Amino acid sequence: MAQTLLETLNSATSLLKEKNLPNPRSTSELFLSSILNLKRVDLYLNREKILSEKEKDKLFFYLKERISGKPIQYIIKNTGFYGLEFKTDPRAMIPRPETETLVNEVIQHFIKKESEPIKIIDIGTGSGVIAITLAYELKNSFVYATDISKDALELALENAKIFKVEKRVKFVLGDFFDPLKNKNLVDFFDCIVSNPPYVKDSDYKNLDKEIKDFEPEIAFLCGDDGINFHKKIAKEGVKYLKKGGLLVLEIALGNAEKLLEFLSSSSLYNQIRIVKDLAGIRRVVSGLRS
Ligand SMILES: C[S@@+](CC[C@H](N)C(=O)[O-])C[C@H]1O[C@@H](n2cnc3c(N)ncnc32)[C@H](O)[C@@H]1O
């Protein structure tokens, strides 16, 4: 039976609500705007549009996937981040909105110095969201982006090509700073950024099933201490960071003070500060290399 866009939106919303899925209306809007290639607000301007059989089949497939627990971003293969649309699939973790806080810190720090070339390294780049947004926003930057996952780096390169920054983002496979070894990059970088894995192995079981069933485990697990990887990046990174260079790390809820204390006591960094995300959570720690 022919159904208008608005009727389809209403029935998709009712179905997701019936299945107790969160945000049924916005999920249905996202699905339909992806299928019809319309902005969410424009769905309502086109409310009388009749969907084709192909469009209805696609929506049915999306709804089935969502009911099976698959995250929305893996279904529509897209995530909005810092005003850009990133290709998203299970090769890498879904970019989270709180990571925009980290990206914004770096942009605000360098935006006034844009005439000078800015050399940045992003450790654990995943889908490439941090490295690519920085390259896109800071036109005079060059970004090294590392990851231990070959799959993630493949997706990241695809994203870099979408935003035409692939010549200014170099993706390298390997463990933390290992890919930089023997490359003459000591005292080379103006900035180190990372959103490293920060879920303790013992806490992983408490994460949402949606994360455990669909997103790569390696993007979350960090051993027995939530700041293990942060400490390693701060310690090893000193060698590659110029004096006065910026370190910016994303951190789990409740761990910012611990990292701040570690960085202060090490005397490797100064002007250490904590930045809150939009939800008011102490999410990012930054400092300058002493
Ligand atoms: C929390 S995710 C962050 C991904 C992306 N930067 C973002 O913010 O959406 C952490 C990333 O670190 C990578 N990773 C895990 N262990 C690593 C290691 N030893 N060396 C380099 N990257 C690692 C994972 O593959 C994953 O892509």
Q: What's the number of domains the chain is made of? A: 2
Shared-domain flag, residues 32 and 104 = no
Indicate the pTM of the whole model: 0.95
Inside any domain, residue 262: yes
Do 225 and 283 lie in one domain? The reply is yes
Nearest alpha carbon, ligand 1 atom 12: 124
* Judgement on whether residues 61 and 101 belong to the same structural domain of the protein: no
Is the domain of 159 the same as that of 53?
Answer: no
Same domain for 150 and 45: no
Domain range holding 55? 5-68
Does any domain span residue 75? no
User: Is 99 within the bounds of a domain?
Assistant: yes
E-strand ranges in 110-240 read 118-123, 141-147, 169-173, 189-194
Task: Give me the helices (H) in the chain, please.
Answer: 5-18, 24-36, 40-45, 53-67, 72-76, 99-110, 129-137, 150-162, 209-214, 228-237, 256-266
| Interatomic CA distance for residues 273 and 187, integer angstroms | 22
Distance 197 CA to ligand 1 centre (A): 6
Same domain for 128 and 62: no
Structure tokens at 242: 């110029």
Contact 34, 66 (CB under 8 A): no
**Cα–Cα distance, 26 to 88 (Å, whole number):** 18
Atom of ligand 1 nearest to the CA of 124: 12
pLDDT, tens digit (0-9, with 9 covering 90-100), for 105-125: 999 999 877 677 999 999 999
Q: pLDDT tens across 231-249, in order?
A: 999 999 999 999 999 999 9
Mean per-residue pLDDT for 77-94?
97
> Which atom number of ligand 1 is nearest to the Cα of residue 94?
9
Tokens of 247: 């370190």
Residue nearest atom 9 in ligand 1 by C-alpha distance: 95
Res. 39: pLDDT tops 80: yes
| Whole-number pLDDT of residue 113 | 76
98 in the same domain as 27? no
124 Cβ inside 6 Å of ligand 1: yes
* pLDDT (0 to 100) of residue 114: 64
Question: What is the whole-number distance in angstroms between the Cα of residue 127 and the centre of ligand 1?
Answer: 9
CATH number at residue 198: 3.40.50.150
Could you give the count of Cα atoms lying within 13 Å of 215 in the half-sphere of its Cβ? 23
Q: Residue 246 phi/psi, 5° resolution?
A: -100, 130
Asked if residue 99 and residue 223 are part of one domain, the reply reads yes
**Residue at 235 is within a domain:** yes
Indicate if 60 and 137 belong to the same structural domain.
no
Is residue 172 lining ligand 1, measured as CB closer than 6 Å?
no
- Based on the fold, state whether residues 59 and 94 are members of the same structural domain: no
